[in-house]
Structure 1
Amino acid sequence: MSQSSKHATRTDSLETHLKRENPLLLEPLAEFRRLDRIAHRMGLLASNESFTRRVPWWPVVSLLGTFSAGKSSFINSYLGTTLQRTGNQAVDDRFSVICYSEDAEPRTLPGSALDADLRFPFYRISGDIEDVAAGEGRRINNYLQLKTCNSEQIRGKILLDSPGFDADSQRSATLQITDRIIDLSDLVLVFFDARHPEPGAMRDTLQHLVTSTINRDDASKFLFILNQIDTTAGEDNPEDVVAAWQRALASAGLTAGRFLRIYDENAAETIADESLAARFKAKKDEDIAEIHRRMKGVEVDRAYRVVELMTGAADTLAGDAGVGRLKSYLRKWRQRTLIYDALMLLPIVLACGAAFIWAHGVAMGVVNRVFGNTVSGWVIVAVAVVVLGALHYTSRSLAANQIARRIEPASQQAFSLDLRRAFRRNTRWWRGLFSLQPKGWHILARRRVAKIRDKQETMVRRLNDRFTQPSG
């Protein structure tokens, strides 16, 4: 099966999934596929690449934090079943991707099930792991696992449970996956353990999960959760524990420093003071309700986000990062080719002109005596033209190779385009040196992309009609 056929099969599978799970996203999917066709013709995407693989189509809620912070217990309580192992020590050293299944029996599948499926947010993550830890990409099953669960709470979304930050030795690859999770997630729940009120010992975790995220455009998707807060009930002043963590967050740059405070009632310590117990429970119920509300809202958030990503992909393709940059590389190529032509060809042109004039004089007689009367001045000109043409294409090739080496290869980041591939396609020997537009960027393609960009408002209005009633 060809690469393009495999790509079509994957996007067809995605379309089938969306028809069942979220029909609202079928229209953006169709526009992404149109962008794919344009980018393929231009060489900005390989035939087996797609904008669709860089969009997480399922809403994603990730849980990050230190080991024993209660992430697994929270997941089990949320799902209403014991799916994740729990314990005071690091009990799982892999990222768990949890999704809905109609089968009553839960299943655990290897990481390769995620790496090869376009619908999941870890499609081709093995390549990212390989980039930061050579040789680790083929050990994808050591980093990821897929778990299925027959819980209505998980229908239509994905939960990502991370291993504790200080629980594994394969740190570079783990942080790479964590960064990928943060980028793809609609909601990030960052758990800390109230039983360990020494936040200074977790400076590395605070650095990666707080300092590195507070200046993000999507910083509002982070919720900081202080778990097992019931263990502080025996303190003279339980609020001191919360204050210590607030100071830790402030030192990491998060000046607001507000925690949601929760605990698992089934595993909670008994609080002898009934009024204190009631106060702890009321606060816990309030904060868990807030977490559940945010988790439920990701399904709506995802639909709007995909529409924004669609527009972002079109902007990237048509803007300075795509066509604009490709044009600048082509302009540099033309300028450099003309400079090389001048340096190499001008002396030869002058010499050929002199030879042509000379060839009609004394020299022609000598040539005719040697070769007979079969050689004329036009033959010499023809030979000169061939030589000049060869030298010109040498100039083109030399200039193209020099510029192509300086173009950064495509990355795995969202909507990263393969400008090197597209540049090579536009500098092949049969392409004109003064073509006004890159290959594939014709008037129909430009109109198609402009139409996709203009569709954002229409799609957002349709989503608003589904979820709101602005007219009352």
Structure 2
Amino acid sequence: MPVSSSTPDQTRTDSLEAHLKRENPLLLEPLAEFRRLDAIARRMGLLARHESFTRSVPWWPVISLLGTFSAGKSSFINSYVGTDLQRTGNQAVDDRFSVICYGEDAQPRTLPGSALDADLRFPFYRISGDIDDVAAGEGQRINNYLQLRTCQSERLRGKILLDSPGFDADNQRSATLRITDRIIDLSDLVLVFFDARHPEPGAMRDTLEHLVARTIHREDASKFVFVLNQIDATAREDNPEDIVAAWQRALASSGLTAGRFLRIYDEDTAPPIENESLAQRFKAKKDEDLAEIHRRMTGVEVDRAYRVVELMTSAADTLAGDAGVGRLQTLRARWRNRTLGIDALIALPLIAAGVAAFVWTPDTAGDLMGLLFSGRPAGWFLLAVVVVVLAAIHFGVRSLVATRIARAIEPASQQPFGLDIRRAFVANTRWWRSLFGAWPKGWTFFARRRVARIRSKQETIIRRLNDRFTQPSG
């Protein structure tokens, strides 16, 4: 078998290109622009050779189900795909994230988390590194956090479902929240489930804080849908609307004043509601809200196309803006100013010593200066020694200052789009790099022009998407 010389990123983007040619050719242009951004960022040192902006883009539509452990997420998935794929129960039955996708085998399969961590095609590629960032050594236990499940359901074609463990069921909290944040960023639709059978929303304060209060100010906040599940349980209350109102107040207390719950239940497993008129009212509301959820789930492919274009522009803006080139310029200026300042502090005592030598021992100082500039071999040698010592001091100062600044730079995992500011800064402070360069390494005239063109393409690509999905002229 021949050995391929392609990089993992080339393998990933080639796979994406083949997929998009079949599914949505309009996204081939954004993919090409992402590749151009990758090339520029790598020349600047902002991306490693195996890294890519495409890692931050959910090319396959992703639908996430988050919430508390008894909120009925797994039951909803089983009903949606038409088979008992996920285990269900009133207690925590699974403490791992389940990534669910279409599979050709009639029998559902469960694969370990390493199948996701090592596969470039899935949104959890190298998630073990993120887990290690918050819990050292836990990345090696990736199978304790993730699993891949396949199901031969037509509803799963072209999309990925993500089922999360309950927030209050997992004792590996920091790593779970890190994965949850990654899920939210990658998702086209986030269904946040709450259990109507637990009428005291104050008990779900952690969930409300993380999934409501921290998300309402996001630019993509519209992708969050709040689902009050097992709503049939409230039919046995004297006033079932009070339960819903309590949850609405809980949302409002977390800052989501305009929020509302979609109210559903599993009609096949729910006990019958004895009051016929009440049963009809609950069923009508459930059918209406469930249809709305299914409509949103079906529409993620269209939403995803527009989101990819927005992320293309966002990546170009990040690279050229304050988080990319601007941050490098600031760090380089700090490095230059500190280096020159220390050079000055070292030079001043040397100058003072030279002046003192002329004042106190003018004959000796004069003889030494005469030797330096006499043109004789001894003078040249002495001059070379002086230059080498001064250069060694200067470059030693440069290196020391650069090292201290680099240590304070946040890792790539904490930077937008995974930009490695530390790597790029180090590349800009090599001994052969000038202190006074106008632009960071790789940020050439052609690179600036290319990024400007990418930033200006958003409207053109959006119009092409509109032509496919809408008919504004009728």
Global fold match (TM > 0.5): yes
Does structure 1 retain, via aligned residues, the 8 Å contact 2:184–2:190? Answer: yes
- Structure 1 CA distance for aligned equivalents of residues 221 and 188 of structure 2: 10
2:273 match: secondary structure: coil
Distance apart, 1:59 and its partner CA: 1.3
Does structure 1 retain, via aligned residues, the 8 Å contact 2:309–2:458? Answer: yes
1:9-57: per-residue Cα shift (whole Å, max 9, x none)?
2322232333334333222111111111111111111112111112121
1:90 to 89, 92, 100: 92
Does structure 2 retain, via aligned residues, the 8 Å contact 1:66–1:205? Answer: yes
Q: Counterpart in 1 of 2:452?
A: 450
Q: Percent identity?
A: 78
Q: Counterpart in 2 of 1:111?
A: 113
- Unpaired runs of 5+ residues, structure 2, are none
Distance apart, 1:119 and its partner CA: 2.3
- Aligned: 1:35 with 2:29: no
Letter in 2 for 1:170: Q
- Aligned: 1:179 with 2:181: yes
Matches within 5 A, 1:11-410: 11-345=13-347, 348=350, 375=377, 377-410=379-412
1:265 match: secondary structure: coil
1:385-435: per-residue Cα shift (whole Å, max 9, x none)?
333322322232233223223322322554132122111111111122222
Matches within 5 A, 1:455-466: 455-466=457-468
Farther-moved stretch of structure 1 (156-165 vs 78-87): 78-87
Farther-moved stretch of structure 1 (154-163 vs 244-253): 244-253
- Structure 1 CA distance for aligned equivalents of residues 158 and 363 of structure 2: 84
Q: Counterpart in 2 of 1:370?
A: none
Farther-moved stretch of structure 1 (44-53 vs 380-389): 380-389
- Structure 1 CA distance for aligned equivalents of residues 396 and 363 of structure 2: 28
Q: Counterpart in 2 of 1:440?
A: 442
1:303-354: per-residue Cα shift (whole Å, max 9, x none)?
1111111111111111111111111221222222222332323554687798
- Structure 1 CA distance for aligned equivalents of residues 389 and 209 of structure 2: 63
- Unpaired runs of 5+ residues, structure 1, are 368-372
- Aligned: 1:411 with 2:413: yes
Report the CA distance shift for 1:334/1:269 in structure 2 as closer, same or farther (over 3 A).
same
Farther-moved stretch of structure 1 (258-267 vs 230-239): 230-239
Taking structure 1 as the reference length, what is the TM-score of the superposition? 0.91
1:64-83: per-residue Cα shift (whole Å, max 9, x none)?
12222211111111112221
1:425-459: per-residue Cα shift (whole Å, max 9, x none)?
11111122222221111111111111111111111
**What is the aligned length?**
465
Letter in 2 for 1:42: M
2:324 match: secondary structure: helix
1:96 match: secondary structure: strand
1:282 match: secondary structure: helix
Letter in 2 for 1:137: G
- Structure 1 CA distance for aligned equivalents of residues 116 and 433 of structure 2: 41
- Structure 1 CA distance for aligned equivalents of residues 310 and 429 of structure 2: 34
1:321 match: secondary structure: coil
1:466 match: secondary structure: helix
- Structure 2 CA distance for aligned equivalents of residues 205 and 399 of structure 1: 44
Q: How big is the alpha-carbon RMSD for the aligned residues of Structure 1 and Structure 2?
A: 2.6
Distance apart, 1:196 and its partner CA: 2.1
Taking structure 2 as the reference length, what is the TM-score of the superposition? 0.91
Report the CA distance shift for 1:95/1:413 in structure 2 as closer, same or farther (over 3 A).
farther
- Structure 1 CA distance for aligned equivalents of residues 291 and 368 of structure 2: 99
Report the CA distance shift for 1:201/1:391 in structure 2 as closer, same or farther (over 3 A).
closer
2:191 match: secondary structure: strand
- Structure 2 CA distance for aligned equivalents of residues 364 and 422 of structure 1: 43
1:260 match: secondary structure: strand
